[in-house]
Amino acid sequence: RMRFAVLGGAPLDPAIAWLFLGLGLPVLQGYGMTEASPVISVNRTESNVPESVGMPLDNVEVRIAPGGELLARGPSIMKGYWNNPEASAKSLDREGWLHTGDLAEIRDSRIFIRGRLKDVLVLSNGEKLPPQDVELAILGDGAFEQGVLIGEGRPFLTLVAVTQETDEKRLIQRANERLKGFPGYIRVRRVVTIREPWTVENGLLTPTLKVKRERVQEKFRAEIERAYAAGALD
């Protein structure tokens, strides 16, 4: 009988974790990277909050830098990249803190990952958002198979989504239903609909099945520009 399952590598919709918990199978989400050997934190069977990636391992210190980046330090953190001092200096500061590149919050000693620092979108009004949390919420609606938010330097958010639905206004409504718990400026105003799934073969997913955000934007640039030129739909 399976006692528990451990998940890492990509965020899990908490609703799925709660479903398995209800069935008697704890799903323990964790977090780490190769540079940390590789685990930084993980939930425990006796203390599991699926919305988080758990508490740090006993030998790992964590803190949040002023810009919101998660830092980690400890004996399991690398000393540097082999024969690459420049890359090492970018990832490790003089105090030995590993700069993970991930935005996070720490609450009650638990780590909550909010997205990649390099992926943060800044709207034209100055509002900022890490898109991964928002995308994960939207993809909880089965109408959306895959999706990427666009909005850097733009007046509103557009969702590029793989979906078989055709009613854009209805898709916007469904997306925003999933965003009621987010700040008011985080609302989808246009949806660019794509029929063909994004795959490793067509160059839109990495080998670990992560969406290549920049590649998606490049491939569908014309459709995105038309959506912004036409203006927001409410």
Residue 234 pLDDT greater than 90, yes or no: no
Phi and psi of 14, rounded to 5°? -55, -30
Average pLDDT on 5-20 reads 91
Question: What is the β-pairing status of strands 121-122 and 55-56?
Answer: unpaired
pLDDT in tens, 123-165: 999 999 999 999 999 999 999 999 999 999 999 999 999 999 9
Q: Which ranges constitute the DSSP H helices of the chain?
A: 14-22, 85-91, 131-138, 168-177, 213-219, 221-230
Q: Strand, helix or coil at 98?
A: strand
CATH number of the domain to which 46 belongs: 2.30.38.10
* Same domain membership, residue 125 and residue 110: no
Q: And the tokens for 147?
A: 């999706």
The band of 26, judged by pLDDT with boundaries at 50, 70 and 90, is: very high
Task: Write out the residue range of the structural domain in which residue 106 sits.
Answer: 5-114
Structural domains counted in the chain: 2
Q: What is the pLDDT of residue 145?
A: 98
Average pLDDT on 66-90 reads 97
* Same domain membership, residue 109 and residue 41: yes
- Whole-model pTM: value is 0.83
Q: What is the distance between the alpha carbons of residues 77 and 201, in angstroms, rounded to a whole number?
A: 34
Ranges of beta strands (E only) in 65-221 are 69-73, 98-107, 110-116, 121-122, 128-129, 146-150, 157-162, 188-194
Q: What is the pLDDT of residue 110?
A: 98
Q: What is the pLDDT of residue 93?
A: 97
Average pLDDT on 86-96 reads 97
* Same domain membership, residue 50 and residue 16: yes
* Same domain membership, residue 140 and residue 40: no
In percent, how much of the chain has pLDDT > 90? Answer: 96
pLDDT in tens, 185-223: 999 999 999 999 999 999 999 998 999 999 999 999 999
Q: What is the distance between the alpha carbons of residues 13 and 18, in angstroms, rounded to a whole number?
A: 9
Q: What is the pLDDT of residue 162?
A: 99
Average pLDDT taken over every residue of the chain: 96
Cα 89 to the chain's mean position, in Å? 25
